[in-house]
Structure 1
């Protein structure tokens, strides 16, 4: 496991501030938005569709804390771009948007370094003000939108209106207390991680923040490599994963096969109250990964030798299946949902940090073993031959 201290050169012009929003392309935006509201505790924020003058695409926007998700679907038959995306990937993340300063400069520099610009910087406006937007291509069919808000005071973005209705059920459900997006993970096919990391370093001037290799992240059956890139201020963190050769197909390889290539694997959301959050999310019916009780027995033994003191009650963490990772400076608590659609692709993470900026490397083995149990139930924990093909066992 490696942490990096070299952030590269600080640029006076152009800056990535934070995650702005994440856009999912889905088969039924209304139902997807409802799922995230009822199961994950989001609230409807904004809407764009036929009633607001949008004739081709409908979007339902939901929010919790500073986290904004947009669910978009095609309105008409024959929308080839969205239709092809849905057939290939299933419901998934199309775009990860960043709030930026000086969108023009960032796009100009990215283009000069070889990035593909999908949409040049352009202004959209309404009575609440102006927003400048641009879109660049990243891994696979995923894009990044750069959002320069210029004091915009509307609900979300121009052309979006208030939600058409309010679901009375939401007022009766326990509060989830998710605050902001901690990181967004992108899975790559084998041997493509480094080139994607270099794309972020070269085109967006991100730097390597943290990494682990397959010698550190492995189970009896599978392994992965991961490099985290971040902006200069380290407010945007993007782990990039790839599978490593093991005895069986890894969850990264399973993702790539079912998603039809590289894409966003999971979104980690930060909370200050993970015990309350997970209790409430489970009460809402959200499904999470579980780990064997031996994980907590081993954790208690290892903590006896550590300087760090976990303030939460370990028996409650065990009851809720919350994982603990730590070093001499602090610790983090994390838990992962099961996939949030039928394909074993996108899932969510809830994380709480106590002076620990890692990504749960100490938990990868326990997490992988839990995922492998689910993979086996799906018939996907298959034997890998040396050429990387898999056989059912």
Structure 2
């Protein structure tokens, strides 16, 4: 182990000037401006909902944006995960010793609120980099170098980041799992009883070949870092590309496919997103007609007609349930999207919901292809 990720500080995005991501996060998903930095050709805006912080790097400057890298990627993208660590210098030296690329060695940034030290590491997942941040000596609202943004304080729609799903090339999950274990102390989190870490959880797309393989990773007890989920396609699909393959093609390689945002009240949060104009994926029509689904929803304390109307998926049993709803892509390239998730005792991701998401995304992409 080279470093231990204690918690997620923020997720950074790179978008061209004028791209509406920052505006959409505020208007459609209840994020509020937290801090801003405008320098060296960059406008960096941090937005928050609860403990979930997104940093939108807009533009393209001659230097790297503060606390990250400019991957010069071909399409708008989530490009960086920033984790709090105890000692940035020690973590960076250990990663270099393991052969990792550290294009930004430890550097300290100071302003009137204190000091933070960070280093940036290249990950093996496409254009995604990792920032290791030490900020115990900083007392401001975000990070040194940013000025606070005055705004009306209101309750956020989500409380924190539940999980991060990375779209990976076929067969790469075992290698990536070992990298995140050796470098950031992430450990295998079984999604099914007796799951083999090398095999993960396989979710078939139906009666034919193809489907999805998921491998989940979590940090050690006491850490507040979200779960990492590695997603790759199973070989043998009959025809065309599934959504992981389409992400890889449209994103121009592996990357962060979606962020699961935890909400304590998914019904209210989904309603607020819909009223604000956010676009949500519609589950397959047959999802709510599955045998036992109505009884399952009632056992969780919800009304089947309401969940169906809002497109909320529910899975679980024995008093432990999981509720999820998914947005359409936040970018025209049909790549990155968000998930709202509420847990009623459940710790996994619900195989029934995974299949439903798989089908709903496939149907959405088929619809898009027909339109073009």
Question: What is the TM-score of this pair, normalised by structure 1?
Answer: 0.83
Q: Aligned partners of 1:324, 1:162: CA distance in 2, in Å?
A: 39
Q: Give the direction of change, closer, same or farther, for the CA distance of 1:218–1:65 in structure 2 (3 Å limit).
A: same
Structure 2 residue runs of 5 or longer lacking an equivalent are: 193-199
Aligned CA distance change for structure 1 residues 29 and 99 (closer, same or farther; 3 Å): farther
Q: Look up the match of 2:312.
A: 322
- Corresponding residue pairs, total: 355
Residue 243 of structure 2 is matched in structure 1 by 251
The answer to whether the 8 Å contact 2:191/2:349 transfers is: no
Q: What is the CA distance between 1:218 and its match in structure 2?
A: 2.1
In the alignment, does 2:133 pair up with 1:147? Answer: yes
Specify which of 153, 160, 164 is matched with residue 180 of structure 1. 160
Measured at CA, do residues 317 and 175 of structure 1 come closer, stay the same or move farther in structure 2, by a change above 3 Å?
farther
Name the CA distance, whole Å, in 2 between partners of 1:29 and 1:156. Answer: 24
Q: Which residue of 2 aligns with 1:219?
A: 206
Q: Please give the residue correspondences for 1:201-280 in structure 2 after superposition, counting only pairs within 5 Å.
A: 201-211=181-191, 215-219=202-206, 222-233=210-221, 235-236=224-225, 237-245=227-235, 246-248=237-239, 249-280=241-272
Counterpart Cα distance in 2 of 1:78 and 1:116: 18
CA shift at 1:214, angstroms?
6.9
Q: Does 1:160 align with 2:146?
A: yes
Could you say which residue in structure 2 is the equivalent of 1:388?
Answer: none
> How far off is 1:78 after superposition?
11
CA contact (8 A) 1:308 1:330 kept: no
Which position in structure 2 is the counterpart of 1:386?
A: none
> Would the aligned equivalents of 2:284 and 2:359 in 1 still touch at CA under 8 Å?
no
Runs of 4+, deviation exceeding 4 Å: 75-79, 211-215
Distance 1:327 1:194, change over 3 A: farther
C-alpha RMSD over aligned residues? 2.8
Q: CA deviation at 1:44?
A: 0.9
CA drift of 1:190 comes to 1.4
User: How many Å separate the matches in 1 of 2:263 and 2:202?
Assistant: 31
CA contact (8 A) 2:71 2:127 kept: no
Deviation, structure 1 residue 92: 0.8
Distance 1:290 1:302 in 2: 17
Aligned to 2:23: 34
- CA distance in 1 between partners of 2:185 and 2:355 (Å): 32
Counterparts in 2 of 1:14 and 1:295: CA distance versus 1, 3 Å: same
- Give the 3 Å change call, closer, same or farther, for CA 56–307 of structure 1 in structure 2: closer
Deviation, 1:356, is 0.8
Q: Does 1:331 align with 2:321?
A: yes
Greater Cα offset, 262-271 or 358-367: 358-367
CA contact (8 A) 2:79 2:127 kept: yes
Between the aligned partners of 1:107 and 1:312, the Cα distance in structure 2 is 48
> Which blocks of at least 5 consecutive residues in structure 1 are unaligned?
1-10, 381-393
Post-superposition shift, 1:328?
3.1
1:22-62 Cα deviation digits (max 9, x unpaired): 1100012673211110111111111111xxxx123221111
Tell me the TM-score normalised to structure 2 length: 0.87
Asked if 1 retains the 8 angstrom alpha-carbon contact of 2:21 and 2:330, the reply is no
CA 1:344/1:307 → structure 2, altered by over 3 Å: closer, same or farther? closer
* 1:48 partner SS: strand
Task: State the shift of 1:286 in Å.
Answer: 0.5
Deviation at residue 106 of structure 1 after TM alignment? 2.6
